[in-house]
């Protein structure tokens, strides 16, 4: 604990400046070793230019001030004494906080009597002063002060020292209360918190840190922060003194050591700590053990992989069985049996598409999704999608309008995933269209900027100046609020509008559509509410996706690595 940690040096200097101006004596606040803490106020020429002008003389003054402080601490009051250097009259008063001798207020540099010339010369020569005449002249200029006057000044000095001690005590108690509250808070959190000095030496660890690291605070404090991690060089680059700011903008996943060669993964955030003056005082690391989280993620990945793979086999078996029935290998079917078998066959395709969507999204998150590109015609893709949703549209008596163009709309793309993308958009339109409503589908080749909205809605990877195929699916449903236009493409998004036939998110279908569009270098977006030529009111949705005809990332037909 230092006095300047409790009372600012500027405040101490202002007190001494006022004190010396009123008393016309010198004053300084020194530490327990006699080293000055404040400026040296109103020092005499003798002390300033002679006694403290040589290394030996300054050291002698420090020893004298240290002696005065030590004796005043022992007496617990002011101590008047003859300085050990020039033989002048000084007085020391201790500044004590909670039993700690933080500093000493020293005043004096006056004479109460004559100092023999021979003794003065001897003192000057002992500290290496060469200008003896100047020394003696400066000694003659030191003011005389009677005992009564000196006593009143030293009494005032003692009162001021006690006031400084009281102010320092109040600040100390306030800081200690804050530290205790902070320690309680730090020790109450579940994350490990480790503080270190600028050189990396650990100075503090909370209870959660002790439990997480498997060591007591005594075994952690004093170690280097880098030694806690399996890859210390990674941490050293983040907390090197040459850097003005921590390099990590968020938590890093690092392997942490425990005793017995145990290693566990943790989310770690580093921060540099600065004091009120903006000077770096150390570092803090906040760590969270994510062993269980990593284990749960592995279990989730294994479970998802198992479900998606194992569900495909029974669905494919159902498809084969329905196909055998429909092909009449087992005998003829009446009209009702034919209808039910066709419904089951088409439903199996829908179920397989849902499982495939789920698997592809999982593959994309795991970094394993690849496209098998071939030359496809978007008109053929849409016709195949319409075939798969035919029964669902007929059930709601919907008028689904699509007229393929005379020219093929060809691009390099993944046939099966593009079919599922269009099927998902059509199923979404059918689900939220009113019975007897109308669904419009269109596909066209664009060589310019296209319709309004395409420039702002397409993603950063979309080539605005290249040829592209634009597909639109328009329905007459309740629409989607504008604030949900981006969220509707997120996984498991769900919302309901105020309309009676409001639409809810379709879970993974639209998320899969966004995944496929962006994997092809394109983009997908929604316009709602939308007014078509046949509609009088603003409602419904228009889903649009645009794909580049020539994807610069894929120069030849084949599957992406």
Q: Would you state the structure tokens that stand for residue 226, as one six-digit string?
A: 């880098």
> Alpha-carbon distance 192 to 272, whole Å?
16
Mean pLDDT of 1-24: 91
Which residues partner with 443 through β-bridges? 471
Which pLDDT score, from 0 to 100, does residue 456 have? 42
Q: Would you state the structure tokens that stand for residue 473, as one six-digit string?
A: 């699916």
Which residues partner with 514 through β-bridges? none
> Alpha-carbon distance 546 to 455, whole Å?
11
426 or 293, greater pLDDT? 426
User: What angle, rounded to 10 degrees, do the helices at 132-140 and 117-126 form?
Assistant: 130
**Is residue 399 helix, strand or coil?**
strand
In angstroms, what CA-CA distances link 558 with 372, 373, 551? 5, 5, 13
The CATH code belonging to domain 370-559 is 3.30.565.10
Which pLDDT score, from 0 to 100, does residue 13 have? 94
Cis peptide bond prior to 252, omega within 30° of 0: no
Mean pLDDT of 30-45: 94
pLDDT of 459 higher than 50: no
Closest-CA residue to 488 (of 512, 519, 469, 461): 512
Sheet holding 410-413, edge to edge: 410-413, 372-377, 558-559
> Alpha-carbon distance 249 to 307, whole Å?
37
> Alpha-carbon distance 443 to 541, whole Å?
16
Mean pLDDT of 307-329: 77
CB 237 within 8 A of CB 218: no
Q: Would you state the structure tokens that stand for residue 371, as one six-digit string?
A: 């496209």
Which pLDDT score, from 0 to 100, does residue 351 have? 76
Q: Would you state the structure tokens that stand for residue 73, as one six-digit string?
A: 């601490």
56 or 485, greater pLDDT? 56
Q: Specify the DSSP class assigned to residue 35.
A: -
Mean pLDDT of 221-228: 89
Residues 6+ apart with CB under 8 A from 42: 20, 21, 24, 25, 26, 27
The kind and range of the H/E element at 193 are: strand 192-196
Per-residue pLDDT band at 458 (split at 50, 70, 90): very low
Report how far Cα 444 is from the mean position of its chain's Cα atoms: 46
Which pLDDT score, from 0 to 100, does residue 365 have? 63
90 or 341, greater pLDDT? 90
In the chain, the percentage of residues whose pLDDT exceeds 90 is 39
pLDDT of 2 higher than 50: yes
> Alpha-carbon distance 256 to 262, whole Å?
8
The strand pair at 252-258 and 262-274 is best described as antiparallel
Q: 490 phi and psi, to 5 degrees?
A: -85, 155
**Is residue 257 helix, strand or coil?**
strand
- Of the ranges 49-63, 255-269, 545-559, which one carries the lowest mean pLDDT score? 545-559
Which pLDDT score, from 0 to 100, does residue 280 have? 82
Q: Would you state the structure tokens that stand for residue 216, as one six-digit string?
A: 């007591």
> Alpha-carbon distance 132 to 136, whole Å?
6
257 or 561, greater pLDDT? 257
In angstroms, what CA-CA distances link 386 with 117, 190, 395, 397, 429? 119, 55, 14, 14, 12
Which pLDDT score, from 0 to 100, does residue 315 have? 78
Which pLDDT score, from 0 to 100, does residue 538 have? 56
pLDDT of 343 higher than 90: no
The kind and range of the H/E element at 525 are: strand 523-527
Q: 521 phi and psi, to 5 degrees?
A: 85, 15
In the chain, the percentage of residues whose pLDDT exceeds 70 is 83
1 or 20, greater pLDDT? 20
Domain 3-175 has CATH 3.30.450: yes
Per-residue pLDDT band at 482 (split at 50, 70, 90): confident
Per-residue pLDDT band at 372 (split at 50, 70, 90): confident
Mean pLDDT of 192-200: 88
Closest-CA residue to 227 (of 196, 206, 252, 250): 196
Per-residue pLDDT band at 244 (split at 50, 70, 90): very low
Per-residue pLDDT band at 274 (split at 50, 70, 90): confident
Q: Concatenate the DSSP letters of all residues of 43-60 into one string.
A: --HIIIIIITSSHHHHHH
Per-residue pLDDT band at 492 (split at 50, 70, 90): low
CB 215 within 8 A of CB 192: no
Which pLDDT score, from 0 to 100, does residue 494 have? 61
Residue 359's CB is within 10 A of a number of other CB atoms, namely 19
Fold classification of 189-289 is: Beta-Lactamase (3.30.450)
The highest-confidence range among 273-282, 427-436, 548-557, by mean pLDDT, is 427-436
Handedness of CA 448, 449, 452, 453 (dihedral sign): positive
Mean pLDDT of 498-509: 50
Residues 6+ apart with CB under 8 A from 315: 348, 351, 352, 355
Q: Would you state the structure tokens that stand for residue 131, as one six-digit string?
A: 């200008």
Q: How large is the C-alpha radius of gyration of the chain?
A: 43
Q: Specify the DSSP class assigned to residue 189.
A: S
Q: Specify the DSSP class assigned to residue 467.
A: -
- Of the ranges 80-94, 311-325, 458-472, which one carries the lowest mean pLDDT score? 458-472
Which pLDDT score, from 0 to 100, does residue 247 have? 47
> Alpha-carbon distance 198 to 268, whole Å?
18
pLDDT single digits (tens) 520-556: 999 999 998 766 555 555 578 899 999 998 644 444 5
Mean pLDDT of 255-283: 85
The CA-based dihedral angle spanning residues 403, 406, 407, 410, taken in that order and rounded to the nearest 10 degrees? 30
| Residue burial 178-216, b: 16+ Cβ < 10 Å; e: rest | eeeeeeeebeeeebbbbbbeeebebebbbbbbbebbebe
- pLDDT averaged over every residue in the chain: 83
């Amino acid at each position: 604990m230092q006095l300047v940690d409790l009372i600012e040096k500027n405040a101490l200097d202002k007190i001494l400046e006022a004190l010396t101006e009123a008393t016309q004596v010198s004053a300084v606040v020194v530490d327990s070793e006699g080293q000055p803490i404040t400026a040296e106020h109103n020092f005499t020429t003798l002390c300033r230019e002679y006694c403290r002008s040589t290394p030996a003389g300054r050291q002698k003054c420090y020893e004298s001030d240290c002696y005065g402080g030590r004796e005043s601490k022992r007496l617990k009051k002011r101590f008047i004494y003859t300085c050990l250097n020039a033989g002048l009259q000084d007085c020391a008063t201790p500044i004590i906080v909670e039993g700690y001798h933080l500093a000493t207020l020293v005043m004096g540099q006056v004479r109460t009597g004559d100092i023999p010339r021979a003794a003065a010369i001897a003192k000057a020569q002992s500290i290496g002063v060469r200008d003896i005449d100047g020394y003696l002249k400066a000694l003659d200029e030191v003011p005389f002060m009677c005992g009564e006057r000196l006593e009143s000044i030293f009494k005032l000095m003692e009162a001021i020292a006690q006031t400084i001690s009281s102010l320092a005590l109040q600040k100390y108690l306030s800081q200690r209360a804050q530290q205790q509250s902070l320690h309680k808070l730090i020790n109450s959190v579940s994350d490990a918190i480790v503080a270190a000095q600028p050189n990396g030496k650990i100075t503090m660890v909370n209870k959660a840190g002790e439990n997480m690291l498997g060591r007591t605070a005594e075994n952690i404090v004093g170690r280097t922060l880098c030694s806690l991690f399996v890859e210390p060089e990674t941490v050293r680059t983040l907390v090197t003194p040459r850097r003005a700011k921590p390099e990590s903008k968020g938590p890093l996943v690092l392997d942490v050591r425990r005793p017995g060669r145990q290693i566990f993964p943790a989310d770690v955030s580093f921060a540099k700590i600065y004091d009120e003056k903006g000077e770096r005082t150390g570092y803090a690391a906040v760590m969270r053990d994510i062993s269980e989280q990593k284990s749960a993620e592995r279990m989730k990945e294994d479970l998802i992989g198992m479900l998606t793979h194992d569900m495909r086999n029974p669905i494919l078996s159902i498809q084969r069985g329905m196909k055998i029935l429909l092909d009449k290998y087992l005998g003829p079917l009446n009209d009702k049996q034919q209808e039910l078998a066709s419904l089951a066959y088409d439903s199996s395709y829908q179920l397989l598409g849902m499982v495939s969507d789920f698997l592809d999204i999982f593959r994309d998150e795991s970094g394993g999704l690849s496209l098998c590109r071939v030359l496809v015609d978007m008109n053929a893709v849409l016709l195949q999608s319409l075939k798969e949703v035919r029964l669902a549209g007929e059930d709601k008596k919907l008028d689904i309008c699509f007229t393929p163009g005379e020219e093929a709309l060809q691009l390099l793309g993944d046939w099966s995933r593009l079919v599922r993308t269009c099927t998902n958009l059509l199923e979404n339109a059918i689900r939220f269209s009113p019975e007897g409503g109308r669904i419009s589908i269109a596909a066209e080749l664009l060589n310019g900027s296209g319709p309004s909205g395409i420039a702002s809605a397409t993603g950063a990877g979309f080539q605005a100046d290249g040829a592209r195929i634009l597909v639109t699916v328009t329905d007459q449903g309740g629409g989607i609020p504008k604030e949900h236009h981006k969220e509707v493409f997120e996984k498991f998004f769900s919302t309901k509008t105020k309309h009676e036939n409001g639409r809810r998110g379709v879970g993974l279908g639209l998320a899969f559509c966004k995944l496929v569009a962006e994997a092809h270098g394109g983009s997908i977006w929604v316009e709602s509410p939308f007014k078509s030529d046949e509609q009088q009111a603003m409602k419904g949705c228009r889903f649009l996706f645009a794909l580049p005809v020539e994807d610069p990332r894929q120069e030849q037909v084949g599957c992406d690595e």
